[in-house]
Amino acid sequence: MEWVETTGKTLVEAVDSALTALGVDEADLEYEVLQEPKSGLRGKLGMGSARIRARVKPISREKPNDRRRRRSREEKGERSEGSDRNRPRSGAKGGKSGKGKPRSNDGNSDSGNESAKESARESGKDSDRAEGSGEAGRRNRRRGGAGRSSGGDRERSVEKSSVSVEDQAKIAGEFLEGLVGSFGYSGSASSVIENDDITVSIEGEGLGLLIGPQGVTLVAIEELSRAVLHRACGSGTARLHVDVTGYRAARREALAGFAAQVAARAVETGKEQALDPMNASDRKVVHDALVEFEGVETLSEGDDPRRYVVVRPS
C-alpha cells in the first residue's frame, strides 16, 4: 500500500493528518515516526515538527493447501465408512447377522452429493480462472476483457446515448463538484475522455473522507455518479471513472508492488497466499500485475463483496 508523509506540531497532529489523507480509521493505519517534535526553551514545542510515514495496513494470509484438506476429508470418510461397517444394523430379520451391508440408496445419495459438490467446486474454479492470471485469464485480457462477457461492450457500442461524451463528462463533473460542496469541502473537477471512457478527477484539500478505507467510499461515489449520468442521459452512456486527488493511480502502483511481494512469498514458501477481499477493479490490478510473474498464477475466490484474490505457486 502507498506510503504518505505527514507533519504536525505534535505526533498526534501528524497521525491525524495521515488519517485524513488516507481516509481510514486509526486501527487500519500503519506508521513510522521519522522525526519527533523538538522542544524549545522551557520545554515549549515549536523548534521542530513531528514527521511520520504512514500507509493503510496491508494484510495477506496463507491459504491452507487444498490437497491437504482434501486428503483429510478422505481420511475422515474412510474412518466413518469403517465405523459404519462395524456397527450392527437394527431390525435384522430371520436371525441374520447384524453386519448387514449398507443400503444401496444411501451410498448412491452420498455419491451423488459428493459428485455435485465436486462439480460445484470445479465450476467455481473455472469461473475464477477466467478472471485470474492463468491461460484463460490471459486469453480474456488479450480479447479486451477480464473474465467478463463481451456482450455488454457490444451493447454499449450499438446503443450509444444521444448526449455527446463531452456533455456527459460535463454533467458528471458538475454533479461531483456539487457533491464535494455538500460535504463542506471545496474541489474542482477535470475530465479526460478516451474513446467511450470518461475519467473525472477531483482535486482539493482534505478530501480523504471521499476516499474511505481502501477506497470503498470512492467506489460508492463512482457508482452514484454513474447512476446520475444514466438518469440524465439515458442508456448507452460512456463508461465513467471517478478519482480523488490521484488516489487510484497511487493505489494501482501500491497494489502492484504489494502483489509482487505476495507472489515472491508464495514462490519462496510454496504455499498459496490469500489477499484481503477487494472490489473488482482492485482484483484486476492484482491479476494484471502478476500475469508475467514467473512461478505463480492467480484466481479469485468467494462471492462479492467478500471476493478475494489467491496467489498460488504454478
Chain segment 73-128, per-residue pLDDT in tens: 555 555 555 555 555 444 444 444 444 444 444 444 454 555 544 444 444 444 44
The C-alpha atoms of residue 29 and residue 279 are separated, in whole angstroms, by 20
Residues 253 and 301 in one domain: yes
Q: Average pLDDT of the chain?
A: 74
Which three three-digit cell numbers place residue 269? Answer: 514458501
Q: 31 φ, ψ to 5°?
A: -145, 160
User: Could you tell me which residues come within 8 angstroms of residue 228 by beta carbon, excluding any fewer than 6 positions away?
Assistant: 171, 172, 175
Report pLDDT for 222: 94
Q: Does 44 fall in a domain?
A: yes
Closest CA to 262 of 276, 273, 250: 273
Residues 182 and 35 in one domain: no
Number of domains in the chain: 3
The more confident residue out of 125 and 232 is: 232
Angle CA(243)–CA(308)–CA(242) in degrees, nearest 5?
10
Residues 143 and 266 in one domain: yes
Residues 144 and 254 in one domain: yes
Positive/negative CA dihedral, 227, 230, 231, 232: positive
Residues 179 and 241 in one domain: yes
Q: Does 113 fall in a domain?
A: no
226: exposed, middle or buried (Cβ count in 10 Å: 0-12, 13-18, 19+): middle
Q: Does 264 fall in a domain?
A: yes
Closest CA to 147 of 156, 134, 160, 158: 134
Angle CA(44)–CA(50)–CA(53) in degrees, nearest 5?
170
Of the CA atoms within 13 Å of residue 221, those in its CB half-sphere come to 26
pLDDT, one tens digit per residue, over 28-60 is 788 888 888 775 544 444 557 888 888 887 766
Closest CA to 170 of 208, 200, 125: 200
Residues 143 and 159 in one domain: no
CATH number reported for the structural domain that contains residue 181 in this entry: 3.30.300.20
Q: Does 271 fall in a domain?
A: yes
In Å, how far from its chain's centre is CA 133?
15
The C-alpha atoms of residue 292 and residue 178 are separated, in whole angstroms, by 42
Report pLDDT for 50: 86
| Winning range, highest mean pLDDT, from 18-32, 74-88, 132-146 | 18-32
> Full-prediction pTM beyond 0.85?
no
- Label residues 128-142 b or e (16+ Cβ within 10 Å = b): bbbbbbbebbeebbe
Residues 266 and 235 in one domain: no
Residues 140 and 253 in one domain: yes
Q: Does 97 fall in a domain?
A: no
Report pLDDT for 102: 43
Residues 294 and 167 in one domain: no
Q: Does 40 fall in a domain?
A: yes
CATH number reported for the structural domain that contains residue 305 in this entry: 3.30.1370.50
| 136 pLDDT more than 80 | no
CA dihedral angle for residue 268, residue 272, residue 275, residue 277, rounded to 10 degrees? 170
| 274 pLDDT more than 90 | yes
DSSP 242-257: EEETTHHHHHHHHHHH
Three-state DSSP at 194 gives strand
Q: Which residue range forms the structural domain that includes residue 20? A: 4-57
- In this prediction, residues 16-28 reach a mean pLDDT of 76
Choose the final residue of a domain: 12, 42, 57. 57
Q: Does 159 fall in a domain?
A: yes
Residues 215 and 282 in one domain: no
Residues 144 and 276 in one domain: yes
| 141 pLDDT more than 50 | no
Contact predicate 270/63, CB 8 Å: no
Q: Does 91 fall in a domain?
A: no
| 8 pLDDT more than 50 | yes
Contact predicate 172/179, CB 8 Å: no
